[in-house]
Amino acid sequence: MYSTYSFLKKSGCNPILINWIPESGKNYYKVVSGLAQLECHHKFFIDRCDTTREFSDVSEYPVILKEYGITHVIVGSDSVLNIIKDRYDWLHLKKIVNTVDHTFPNPFWCDSIDIPHSLLSVSSQNANYRDFAGQRKEIGDALKRFVTITVRDTWTQSMVSFFTDGSITPKITPDPVFGFNENVNDTLTRELIRKKFDLPERYVLFTFNNGRMKAPLKWVYTIKKLFNDKGYSCVYLPRSTDSQELHLDAKIDMPIDPLDWYDIIRYSNGYIGVLMHPIVVCLHNSVPCFSFDHYGNGPILLANKKSSKIYDIMEKADVLSCHYFLRNHLKFPSPYYVYNCIMDFPESKIKLFSSKMQKECTENMSKIVSELKYNKE
């Protein structure tokens, strides 16, 4: 969001964030992230960006647009098209009802507005979109009303094509984080980040999930020793949602400001763990990384890795040797293998890849702004 907002600001537009915070989503994150981290995220964009007033009720969306004189809407990036069916959890004997941002329709789909709107490098995560085949025409019609659609990965490309009966096969474009260093000017220096978080000169970050896919402690301490022996400290970087507590050489305490989080990764000597955006930050800044990919469509051990957004970006970067698809494996790879992947990471090749992605990212943003303006005129 901040990369896109900053690009628009620098381009002479007057961006404003549509501050839709559904009550179900807020309640969910209060539980999984805690109030302090939720408030930290909220303060981040309130301090840095122009926003509408906060609203929860979907019916207020058209009212908000008129109230603030909004003439064009850009939706994305991130997993805004991640639609999920409610399901029954037989293990815990309870119904799982998804938050409204995972339903169709919702404001991400712009189905109730009549001003030009576009989707920017959006993702569906790894949505089981064929579960919504009964709403195929309705969803397809909503997609056809967008002026421009670009997507972040092949899975989302196939989803858009499915719902529009092949009439729209959107271009795959980079995540806006690949334009971050060009668009954003208010990050801290390496020295200030190290001082603020009492970080050593050379450090490698670790982030893992709790639950079935958490890291075995013996594995963690083996790889920690390998890095320590080479003069690197190992630092625990928690997720904004539930993560595995790791007792390493140092830890970052929550709440974490999003810009600080970016810089902690950007100035590190490596990242090992889960989630997509740490990997994107690493690739954008040529930082060695190893992904333990927990995304993917399908059941455990039989999941389709090509539906994972992390697999997609690491395949494009030609670093699949640094990718491990957790959902189809019961054991972690050797700590020696992961350690060597970090130490032998092809930084020069990734610098070229990052430069290419940054250029494509800027071109995509510029094209969408141009087409929105042309459509309005």
Find the CATH number of the domain harbouring 281.
3.40.50.2000
Query: For the residues 61-70, what does the mean pLDDT come to?
Result: 96
Residue 132 lies in domain: 2-183+356-376
Q: What is the mean pLDDT of the chain?
A: 93
156 and 211 fall within a common domain = no
pLDDT grade for 211, boundaries at 50, 70 and 90: confident
9 and 129 fall within a common domain = yes
- Go through the chain and tell me how many residues it has: 377
140 and 223 fall within a common domain = no
What's the pTM?
0.93
215 and 167 fall within a common domain = no
106 and 161 fall within a common domain = yes
Q: What is the pLDDT of residue 376?
A: 60
Query: For the residues 83-101, what does the mean pLDDT come to?
Result: 81
Q: What is the pLDDT of residue 377?
A: 52
209 and 143 fall within a common domain = no
Query: For the residues 312-334, what does the mean pLDDT come to?
Result: 92
With tokens 């959006």, the residue in question is 122
- The whole-angstrom separation of Cα 108 and Cα 126 is 17
272 and 371 fall within a common domain = no
Q: How many domains does the chain have?
A: 2
349 and 360 fall within a common domain = no
306 and 173 fall within a common domain = no
122 and 139 fall within a common domain = yes
Query: For the residues 99-125, what does the mean pLDDT come to?
Result: 93
